[in-house]
Amino acid sequence: MLTINFIRHFASDNAIIAYLLILLGMVIEGEVVVVLAGIFTHLGSLNIFWVILFIIIGGGLKSFFGYGLGYYLQKNHSDKKFLLRTEKRVNYFLPNFINKPFLSLFLARFLILGMHSFALIYAGYKKIKLRTFIKAEAISILVWSIVMLSIGYFFSYTALSISHDIRKFLVIILICFIAFFIIEKIVAFIIELFETEEL
């Protein structure tokens, strides 16, 4: 029978696979994966130290791959339509990217889903100083991972406070996710309006 304890022990017994999925999830996108990691950390299935370590490794791999890809594309394929669209998208959401690359890279991780990937490629494409890039990425991934893990922890804590029944627990987690994505879109929209007014 499926219970919270079964899920807790199943995740704990397969923790190595879970950590590898966190790393892979960070390379692809990461947000949902890290919130789920926060839920399983609260349940006691995963160790917070290992979770953060794999988040940092996965996030670092994605950052340098994105930067390297942008650098390569600028050097060899700067006339491609994909790059022009990427530049347009980044400039729309982060109009001060060239003047304030640190702040733009930092904010890109927290903005609209997928924006961070475009910002990484754009940073390499515009040859943003590597020191600035590393500093922005290191600080943003640390702050972002703590925020996302805390959200997952809060979701799990809230769901367990309401019910220990697995169905109710999963429904509450789903409601929390939906509310989180709605709030995220509203915040991104407000930031976008603020950035546009600054222009």
Q: Domain limits at 15? A: 4-198
Number of separate domains in the chain:
1
Residue pair 70/125 in contact (Cβ under 8 Å)? The answer is yes
Cα 180 to Cα 147, 169, 199, distances in angstroms? 12, 16, 29
For 44: left if phi > 0, alpha if psi spans -120 to 50, otherwise beta; the answer is left
Q: What is the pLDDT of residues 101-153, one digit of tens each?
A: 888 888 888 776 667 888 888 899 888 999 999 999 999 999 999 999 999 99
* Regions of the chain where pLDDT drops below 50: 199
Quote the longest CA-to-CA distance of the chain. Answer: 58
pTM of the predicted model as reported, rounded to 2 decimal places: 0.82
What is the structure's pLDDT at 22?
93
pLDDT of 96: 80
Q: How far apart are CA 163 and CA 90, in angstroms?
A: 43
pLDDT at position 143: 92
CA atoms of 187 and 180, how far apart (whole Å):
11
